[in-house]
Structure 1
Amino acid sequence: MADWSDPRTGTYGTAGAGVEARDAGLRSYMLSVYNYMASGVLLTGIVALLFAKSGAIDVLFALQQTSRGVGYAPTLLGWVVMLAPLGIVLLMSFGQMRLSTPAMQALYWVYATVMGLSLSTIFLVYTDTSIAQVFFATAAGFAGLSLWGYTTKRDLSGFGTFLIMGVVGLIVASLINLFLQSGPLAFAINVAGVLLFAGLTAYDTQKIKSMYTYVAGTDMMGKAVVMGALTLYLDFINMFLFLLRLFGSQRN
């Protein structure tokens, strides 16, 4: 029987070189995903901060008195800006086969910019210190969860359906609470949101990692990097927002 590890056959060396090449390619692929994701989050934060500190924010959000105190309600243009990210995500998701890689990249940066505009009110509602604290806490939690999703040998695909159903339920509960204005329900929604997007961070990381096998060496690689970055971006931003609602200190 042939010895598969016998260096004289050359089989082991060839297999070892192939594994090393794949590992190097996978690391480069995941690093690109994380770089795009982190750059998108940074762009969103900068746009949100600069826009919030400018007087232009009044064009999108109007200060008004609500049953829970003073708040910011979107103007007609504000609604357009807030709904635009959903349209961009749908375009990227369903049009990725037809769109070129540069087009996908451009849409991603437009998405991150528009998200910065729509999230600018957090700098008017919450203190800068609490935003920074929650941001770094989210970053630390996200890094740990994503690392676990990347390194674990456990198959997380079985959790996918449960997590997606949980997000759908979260959306429904949030819409209901727009009318009920229940404090306890809002708290429960925020806690559930943190847990769901924490789980999605690990699940999506493993899913993005597994995609490398199918896109390596193809013209889909660049698009897969952008879509992977978008997925992790959404996990991070949503986890950050739910944590901010739980632990953020509002301005007086």
Structure 2
Amino acid sequence: MNNYPDYFNNNSGRQPAVDALDTRVSQVMKRVYLNMFLGLLVTALVSFFCAGSPAVLSFYAQHSWMIWGLFIAELVLVFAISGGINRMQSSTATALFFLFAVINGLALFPIFLVYTHVSIAKTFFITAGTFGAMSIYGFFTTKDLTRWGSFLIMALIGLIICAVINMFWANSTFDWIISGLGVLIFVGLTAWDTQKIKQWAATSPFEATGKLATLGALSLYLDFINLFLYLLRFFGNSRD
């Protein structure tokens, strides 16, 4: 698969142009991964602080609706960044991304109360290894993963529907099946999103680099977090 625009296929000066494009793609991907890493770090620090704060725990105990409020806020931010990024300043998009990371930290801190710190750390490293392998595959493969994307998005929608149904059904076996499918879906999405971001980097104008880095970081951040949460159901050990 050729990810380069047609004007790089000319014989005259082709190699310098290709080298310059490769350098640009590499720079964009570095910014994507850096933003993603910082977002994960912010989420982890916020979650860890909240789990160890009696004031926060007391507040959440008295305001159980906060979890739903945070969930709605997360959805609003994801749609705002994804849908409105072309109308935003790059700094605004970046600020919203890190706001999302903070809110996600506020929503995820209960995992530190449910699972042991050792099992959380173990699952994090398993997730990092799996994510890294699939992201490398997505970046270097010459196979077009477009069909993966169409299938995986439909599978993700089905997964969400199944998860909602199981909230009322509360079937433990079905929950394990959902978790296993969730792992497979987000493993695939990691490779697909990486290739998609690489293609964006190769075809987008230079002035869009900042926005692209933020949007790419958000996509991979969501893949990592969801993969981590599904794997935690398999590798997490209860504190009880």
Shorter-chain TM-score tier: over 0.9
Deviates more, 1:185-194 or 1:81-90: 81-90
Structure with more helix by fraction: 2
Query: In the comparison of the two structures, how many residue pairs are matched?
Result: 231
Residue 139 of structure 1 corresponds to: 128
What displacement does 1:213 show?
Answer: 2.4
- The answer on whether the counterparts of 1:177 and 1:186 sit within 8 Å (CA) in structure 2 is yes
Q: Which amino acid aligns with 2:148?
A: F
What displacement does 1:221 show?
Answer: 1.8
Q: Which amino acid aligns with 2:40?
A: V
Alpha-carbon spacing, 1:58–1:196, altered in 2? closer, same or farther (3 Å): same
Residue 54 of structure 2 corresponds to: 55
Displaced runs of 4+ in structure 1, greater than 4 A? none
- The answer on whether the counterparts of 1:59 and 1:75 sit within 8 Å (CA) in structure 2 is no
RMSD of aligned alpha carbons: 1.6
Match 1:208 to one of 197, 202, 221: 197
Higher relative contact order (CA 8 A, sep 6+): 2
Residue 29 of structure 1 corresponds to: 28
Residue 174 of structure 2 corresponds to: 185
Matches within 5 A, 1:133-172: 133-172=122-161
* Runs of 5+ unmatched residues, structure 2: 1-9
Residue 208 of structure 2 corresponds to: 220
Match 2:225 to one of 237, 246, 252: 237
Name the SS for the 1:79 alignment partner: helix
Residues 176-203 of structure 1: CA distance to partner in whole angstroms, max 9, x if unpaired?
1111110100000000000000000000
Residues 50-71 of structure 1: CA distance to partner in whole angstroms, max 9, x if unpaired?
11111133355339xxxxxxxx
* Runs of 5+ unmatched residues, structure 1: 1-10, 64-73
C-alpha distance in 2 between matches for 1:180 and 1:77? 24
Percent identity, aligned pairs only? 40
Q: TM-score, normalised by structure 1?
A: 0.88
Residue 71 of structure 1 corresponds to: none
Residue 112 of structure 1 corresponds to: 101
What displacement does 1:19 show?
Answer: 1.5
Residues 115-150 of structure 1: CA distance to partner in whole angstroms, max 9, x if unpaired?
001000000000000000000000011000000000
What displacement does 1:21 show?
Answer: 1.1
Residue 67 of structure 2 corresponds to: 78
Answer with 1 or 2: which has the greater Rg.
1
